[in-house]
Amino acid sequence: MIEIELIVKGETPELFSLPREEVTVVTEKNFNGDLTTIELYISEGLNILFLIVSLIKSYIKQKKVSSLVLDKDKIELHNVSEETIMKVLDAWAQRNSRKKVSKKGS
Amino acid sequence: MHGHSEILVRKLAKRVHRHEVGTLNSVDEIINDCCKSLQITVPTIVYCESLAKNFSAFYLDDDPYIIFDSCLIEALSLYDRIVLSGNNEEDLTKFFYKLIGEELIRNGELRRCLYMTGKYRQLSFSFDDESGAEYTDSTVTPLLSLQTYFILGHELGHLSVAPRYRTIDDRCDQNNQDEQDKQREQLEATGAYTGKATASASKGVPTAYRDFIDECMNVIREHSGLLDSLGYYLDEDPSTFKYAIAFDESFFYRNFVEECYCDFQGLKLLLEHYEKPEDSVRGISLAMSYLILQEAVRSDMTDNKFFFGDKTHYASRCVYFAVLRMQVMFVTLQVNKFENPFRSFLNTWSSLWPKLVEKIPSEEAFEAAPFFSIPINEERLRSLLMAAFYYRSVR
């Protein structure tokens, strides 16, 4: 299972339309309700992984994401350029898709 | 669909655990009672004792869950004792070191935490000696019980209004048709788009309550002096209410209304359960004061503003919203008849927090310390630090 955690300020409706058999979405609001922690638990489906990454990228461009946790590494977005975070996300998606492909192959 | 137990294990692992906790019958009873009043399904209760120090209610697929973290009760019990024994400066300072130190542990900044542990251990709580004996469990336990009721009621309120899984058509910004179409196309391409077939589970916060909050905001705006004591913490003059005006009709304002609605649920459940409204208001005020404190410390540290050392940092929005929430609650209760313990919290806190933060060495000074380059066993150090801040398990 792959896990992504986002802390967002704003609405992210598209994530809730993802197929529930492939992605479990858990949301929690902070004390003030202005930040929402969204955890995405992804099982199978490479298309979904790349779709989620593209959705996250669009949220980042819209300045909705304040931090991101990929493989337990937390990235505070105010410390990183948009360009860098896009590269990190692409590399992360590629790495995970390779893992899945090799699992299927073995 | 994923196994819920695997997701729960992952969620709990992120909270930095102190001890294992078994089922607590008193909490089960409160939750059953609240769910009956709210007419919602009783969630599965997950007990833990972790440095996250919060209760959290959420859905996994269609199943509701609530995490009960008894570290929040420990911290609340300490805060109650501090306030009941007269807001002694040394007690509050020691408590701040605990909050900051435990936050550093959560963030994995263990070496930096050593300083906080040392400072925490050098001080003692006045109520731990014989002269503070009157603030014993018999005084604090009833207060904690009603605070637990209120906070659980608030969290369960979130479950009662949670939208869960709605369609993209329901959820997308109706004013942004292009974005909506684009996202739908993307989802359709992968077969992920579920359209209108997905049911909406809740109607959300009732319209009448939204109207009520609008009225509350008008009352608060007319009495802007209510927020004067917050000057240091705000990046805008509170009397201008720039935030509140800017947030009207926005996503943030809708979330703010939901938080107020959940406070109202907690309040309602509590007042139905306890006969003494004055005690309830005091308990809620103390609980909210503590939660604001925790969030303000957390928010400052998350935003890397912890080592501000001067007065140029801008205030956590958290404080602003929390104070507004309290004011909404007081307007709801027409609380002018009661003592307002929240005001004394603001005064105490606004004088003590800046003084404390100014004493903490700078980030550069920390990093120059020799122990920063010595290899350590992180697991062992984490356990030691957590044990150092341990006060007692409160259940």
Structure tokens at B149: 């009721």
Using an 8 Å Cβ cutoff, are B74 and B392 in contact?
A: yes
Q: How would you classify the pairing of strands A2-8 and A65-70? A: antiparallel
Question: How many contacts does A have with B, using Cβ atoms within 8 A?
Answer: 112
CB contact under 8 A, B295 and A31: yes
Nearest CB to B321; choose among A3, A22, A32 = A32
CB contact under 8 A, B187 and A76: no
Q: Residues A42-63, buried b or exposed e (16+ Cβ, 10 A)? A: beebeebbbbbbbbbbbbbeee
Q: Is A104 on the interface with B (CB under 8 A)?
A: no
Which of these, A71, A44, A43, A38, lies nearest to A56 by C-alpha position? Answer: A38
Residues of chain A with pLDDT under 50: none
pLDDT of B179 reads 54
Please provide residue B97's backbone torsions phi and psi, each rounded to the nearest 5 degrees: -65, -35
ipTM for the whole complex: 0.84
pLDDT of A55 reads 94
Interface test with A, best of B53, B58, B256, B323 (most A CBs within 10 A): B58
* Closest CA of chain B from A45, distance in Å: 10
CB contact under 8 A, B198 and A31: no
Please provide residue A77's backbone torsions phi and psi, each rounded to the nearest 5 degrees: -70, -25
Contacts 24+ apart (CB under 8 A), B270-277: B270/B146, B270/B149, B270/B150, B270/B153, B272/B37, B273/B33, B273/B146, B273/B149, B274/B146, B274/B149, B277/B333, B277/B338
Q: Is A16 on the interface with B (CB under 8 A)?
A: yes
pLDDT of A79 reads 73
CB contact under 8 A, B191 and A20: no
Using an 8 Å Cβ cutoff, are B52 and B73 in contact?
A: no
CB contact under 8 A, A26 and B60: yes
Distance CA B98, CA B387 (A): 11
CB contact under 8 A, B318 and A31: yes
* pLDDT, tens digit (0-9, with 9 covering 90-100), for B238-280: 444 555 555 445 677 778 888 889 999 998 888 887 777 778 8
pLDDT of B334 reads 66
Which of these, A19, A43, A22, lies nearest to A99 by C-alpha position? Answer: A43
Q: Is A27 on the interface with B (CB under 8 A)?
A: yes
pLDDT of A6 reads 93
Residue B32 CA neighbour count, 13 Å, CB half: 6
Q: Is A61 on the interface with B (CB under 8 A)?
A: no
Interface test with B, best of A34, A40, A71 (most B CBs within 10 A): A34
Q: Is A41 on the interface with B (CB under 8 A)?
A: yes
pLDDT of A21 reads 84
Mean pLDDT for back-to-back runs of 10 residues, chain B (395 residues): 83 83 86 89 93 92 92 93 87 92 89 90 85 67 90 92 55 50 54 40 78 78 52 42 51 81 89 79 86 80 54 54 76 60 64 73 68 74 87 70
